């Protein structure tokens, strides 16, 4: 068994900690993607059926999972009240026809996001927020 003095053991600790930290950082950096969320559009504040205030933001995500094209995501927040949803419509013909995602319920005094949708060449996406009194959608991007 190798015997080290107490002074030698204490002196070796910072080197071991630094080596472990470098290994963790190097491993984490190699697997991370540089994603940029760009705010593209926002809805007006909409009054829900129970006097809550619901609003939506639309984000274009650049570099999602390392992709070279954009993806879209909608987020909505609700202050008070109930009955607020956010969803995405996706089209290949500028909005003449489209498919619609499931409605994502926004909890009272909370927020929620739609899944991320492809928004690259040949696709147009539209993010919508819905309350009991109506629906508001941004433009086709």
Please report the pLDDT score of residue 80 as a whole number.
83
Q: Is residue 93 part of a domain?
A: yes
Q: Is residue 70 part of a domain?
A: yes
Q: Is residue 11 part of a domain?
A: no
In whole angstroms, what separates CA 41 from the centre of its chain?
14
Q: Which of 58, 75, 67 is nearest to 121 (CA)?
A: 67
Based on the structure, what is the number of domains in the chain?
1
46-47/53-62 β-pairing: antiparallel
pLDDT tens, 53-109?
Answer: 888 888 888 888 888 888 899 999 998 877 789 999 999 999 999 999 999 999 988
More confident residue, 101 or 45: 101
Q: Taking a C-beta distance cutoff of 8 angstroms, is the pair 66, 92 a contact? A: no
Farthest CA pair distance, the chain: 78
For the question of whether the overall pTM of this predicted structure is more than 0.85, the answer is no
For 65, which DSSP code? G
Q: Please report, for the domain that includes residue 131, its CATH number.
A: 2.60.40
* Count of Cβ atoms closer than 10 Å to residue 37 Cβ: 15
Q: Taking a C-beta distance cutoff of 8 angstroms, is the pair 61, 117 a contact? A: no
Q: Is residue 126 part of a domain?
A: yes
* Count of Cβ atoms closer than 10 Å to residue 48 Cβ: 21
pLDDT at 51 over 90: no
**Confidence bin at 116 (pLDDT 50/70/90):** very high
**Which element (helix H / strand E) includes 14?**
helix 6-31
């Amino acid at each position: 068994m190798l015997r080290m003095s107490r002074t030698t053991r204490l002196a070796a600790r910072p080197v071991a900690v630094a080596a472990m930290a470098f290994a963790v950082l190097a491993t984490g950096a190699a697997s991370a993607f540089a994603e940029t969320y760009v705010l593209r559009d926002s809805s007006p504040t909409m009054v829900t059926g129970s006097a809550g205030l619901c609003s939506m933001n639309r984000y274009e995500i650049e570099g999602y999972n390392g992709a070279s094209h954009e993806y879209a995501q909608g987020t909505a927040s609700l202050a008070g009240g109930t009955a607020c949803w956010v969803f995405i419509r996706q089209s290949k013909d500028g909005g003449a026809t489209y498919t619609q995602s499931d409605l994502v319920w926004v909890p009272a005094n909370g927020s929620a996001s739609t899944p991320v949708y492809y928004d690259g060449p040949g696709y147009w996406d539209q993010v919508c927020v819905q309350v009991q009194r109506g629906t508001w959608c941004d433009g086709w991007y």
